[in-house]
Amino acid sequence: MDTTKKLTISPRLAKNFRRNFIERLIEFGLLSSGMIAIFITLAIIYTLVSEAIPFFQHVSIIEFLTDTVWTPNFSIKHYGILPLISGTLTTTGIALFVAIPLGTITAIYLSEFASHKVREIIKPILELLIGVPTVVFGYFALMIVTPFLQKIYPDLTTFNMLGPGIVMGIMIVPYIASISEDAMRAVPMAIREGSYAMGATRFQTAVRIITPAAISGIVAAYILGISRAVGETMIVAIAAGQQPNFTFNPVESAATITSYIVSVALGDLEHDGIGYQSIFAAGLTLLIMTLFLNILGHIARKKFSERY
Amino acid sequence: MAEQKNNLLSKNLGLIRSLIVKQKRYDYAFAGLGMFIIASLTIALLILFIDLVIDGYPRFTLDFFSNFPSRRAARAGILSAWVGSSLVLFVTFFAAVPLGVAAGLYLEEYAKKNWFADLIEINVSNLAGVPSIIYGLLALGLFVYGFGLGQTILTAGLTLALLMLPIVIVSTREAIRAIPIHIREAAYAVGATKWQVCLHHIIQYSYGGILTGIIIGMARAIGETAPIITIGALTFIAFLPPSPIGIEPPFLNFEWLNSGFTVLPIQMFNWISRPQLAFHVNAAATGAVIIMLTLLMNGAAIKIRYNIRKKIKW
């Protein structure tokens, strides 16, 4: 038997084979691009954990979580993360104190009260504000907001947590407003109409019907805002001073987790020194905090999307 | 009897009317409050931006863009910063865009709805929420020391690409999801393969939306400071990287990838951190440049999106 004849495939089929092969190849290429996301996550966890392990061999976790002094780069070394966490929580708290009321009211106004025309103007402005770089907000906090606060409260030092906290709050308003508004607009019109038909006013509908109906979306927006504030770096690095200070007093200067990382990175980094490892331990703490918040936000959003 | 009933009715109606009028006051009050908050926020930010421009105004000269940073504030400029920013963004663009679009395309068009696609999806949305400084730590541990790339333009470009990737993926997916299924069905019906459908139809129609995401991502990358400081790139740079275009063949050289650099926000941060007021003027001028760049880019993105919404009717 002539074997070669058996192996020749019709040109149409041959073309199909090549075609299928290329299709598979492309699908594989696209799949690998998609898997990049998984690789990045793994790389983040691996880098932070592998650099933090030598740190925790040197410092016990109990000391890390309970000591109230953080001086890894001084001669007398203390490794308590609490001062950094207190700074992070204080600035975040001030930011939320500003951002949650302003953001929520803006969202309710845009979703339930504003005319179509007003909304078309305000929404793009909000999106523009989300794009403003944080280093510029840091400049505002240090050069404009803090001097202004000093006029009201003369004892305020140049570096404090109040000014950057307020600026951070203003920075977060567009995030909270934009996402909460989306959640409120997703509430079906029929629910609104039902409320109006019962004789409720706009305000009653907005506060008693729409807000509860959209609450999980609104909560997700708050959580995203908290997560932004916790991870915000440049505003606090510029305007809050970079000295770790275990205090919740907003008029004092303090360091946050992020601004500590910046202050170490600004100096000469000794690779594999304890100072170098300490920023990875701090980073790991930050990652765990934001991861926890992101998961909470995810759960809130899941609940929201199941609603209707 | 009937009159009594009518009286009662009108009395009740009056009660209800006055109740509604009373409740309506809250409507007006809240509408006023909402408008007041939005107006005061916008005005406050406008004042801040105008203040920034006024502070930096004395430095808006041609020299400012063509001088290197200097110890003397009045002679310092942002030449190395804007050249550095452009080169870093160039790397970021070529690293993040192909990967991001490919990943978005895979997730929307190819991925079957199984645990693996869910895993990728969860990872993408998680990465979008990771603070930028964490990417800086990743780059410090992995790119700078792990791969030994050092504090170079390549490292910075890749770091910013990691930050930009989730934005590109999400916007690609949103743009693709808006394309109705019958476009795909028509293409398959005339014998197109999956890749042909993607290349000739899906990418073509989602082009605008993808572009919007890319511009927003690039605008974010321009202003991003923390991750670049974290990789240890805050140095005094008074030179330009080697030119990417040579006069001799092969005309392109890639030495600039391994060059030290500075970028606009780092230069600004550097000047803010100095105690002398003269440098703060430089910082304000640099800030104004960054703001204008990001506002222009974001504005363009919003405009493109608006045009798409208006133009496309499936």
> What pLDDT score does A40 carry?
92
Task: Say if residue B250 is preceded by a cis peptide, omega within 30 of 0.
Answer: yes
Q: DSSP state, B75?
A: G
Chain B residue numbers with beta carbons less than 8 Å from the beta carbon of A237 are 226, 269
Band of the pLDDT at B162, cuts 50, 70, 90?
Answer: very high
Going by the DSSP 8-state scheme, the letter that residue B240 receives in this structure is P
Burial of A272 (0-12, 13-18, 19+ CB in 10 A): exposed
Partner residues linked to B252 by β-bridges: B245
Which amino acid is located at A144 in the chain?
A: I
d(CA A149, CA A158): 10
The token pair at B275 is: 């105690």
In chain B, residues 265-304 whose CB comes closer than 8 Å to chain A: 265, 268-269, 272-273, 280, 283-284, 287, 290-291, 294-295, 297-299, 302
User: What pLDDT is attached to residue A1?
Assistant: 44
Distance, CA of B153 to CA of B166 (rounded, Å): 21
Q: What is the DSSP letter of B198?
A: I
Q: How many Å apart are CA A60 and CA A78, to the nearest integer? A: 11
Output the pLDDT for position B313: 65
Are B256 and B87 within 8 A, CB to CB? yes
Residue A223 one-letter amino acid: I
Using DSSP's 3-state secondary structure scheme, residue A70 falls into strand
Report the alpha-carbon distance of residue A166 to residue A95 in Å, rounded.
5
Residue B135 predicted with pLDDT over 90? yes
Contacts of B52 in chain A (CB under 8 A): 136, 139-140
| Rounded CA separation A50/A64 (Å) | 17
Under 8 Å CB-to-CB from B270, ≥6 apart: which residues?
B69, B234, B262
Closest of A245, A232, A234 to residue B272, by C-alpha: A234
A264, amino acid identity: V
Residue B78's pLDDT is: 86
Give the amino acid at A173.
V
Q: Which ipTM was obtained for this model?
A: 0.87
Greater confidence, B308 or B31? B31
B109-123, B132-146, B254-268 — most confident range:
B132-146
Structure tokens at B186: 């028509």
Q: Are A307 and A278 in contact, with CB atoms under 8 Å apart?
A: no
A79 φ, ψ (degrees, to nearest 5): -125, 60
Report the mean per-residue pLDDT for chain B: 85
Q: Indicate the SS3 state at residue A18.
A: helix
**What pLDDT, on a 0 to 100 scale, did the predictor assign at position B150?**
81
Q: Which letter, b or e, does each residue of A3-37 get, where b requires 16 or more Cβ atoms within 10 Å of its Cβ? A: eeeeeeeeeeeeeeeeeeeeeeebbeebbebbbbb
Residue that the structure tokens 């002094």 belong to: A69
Instruction: Examine the pLDDT at B248 and tell me if it is beyond 80.
Output: no
- What domains appear along chain A, each with residue ranges and CATH number? 82-305 (1.10.3720.10)
A234: chain B residues, CB-CB within 8 Å: 225-226, 265, 269
State which residues of chain A have pLDDT below 50.
Answer: 1-4
CA dihedral of residues A285, A231, A305, B34 (deg, nearest 10): 140
Q: Is A231 on the interface with B (CB under 8 A)?
A: yes
- Say how far apart CA B62 and CA B41 lie, in whole Å: 34
> Do B102 and A230 lie within an 8 Å CB cutoff?
no
Question: Are the CB atoms for B106 and A34 separated by under 8 Å?
Answer: yes
B84 and B153 in contact (C-beta within 8 Å)? yes
Give the gyration radius of chain B's Cα atoms.
27
Q: Which of A32, A47, A117, A295 to mutate to test the interface with B (most CBs of B within 10 A)?
A: A47
CA distance A174 to chain B (A): 10
Which tops the pLDDT comparison, A121 or B242? Answer: A121
- In chain B, where does DSSP find H-type helix? 2-56, 62-66, 79-105, 115-129, 132-139, 153-177, 181-189, 194-197, 203-223, 226-230, 264-272, 277-311
Does B219 sit within 8 Å of A131, measured CB to CB? yes
% of chain B residues with pLDDT over 90: 24
Over residues B63-101, the pLDDT tens digits come to 888 888 877 777 788 888 888 899 999 999 999 999 999
Distance from A4 to chain B by nearest Cα, in Å?
30
Whole-angstrom Cα distance, residue B236 to residue B227? 18
Q: Is A181 on the interface with B (CB under 8 A)?
A: no
Higher-confidence position of B311 and A201: A201
Residues β-bridged to residue B245:
B252
86-145 in chain B: CB under 8 A from chain A: 98-100, 102-103, 105-107, 110-111, 119-120, 122-127, 129-138, 140-142, 145
Burial (Cβ within 10 Å: 0-12, 13-18, ≥19) of residue B190: exposed
Task: Select the residue of B103, B194, B229 nearest A23 (Cβ to Cβ).
Answer: B194
Phi and psi at residue B259, to the nearest 5°: -90, 155
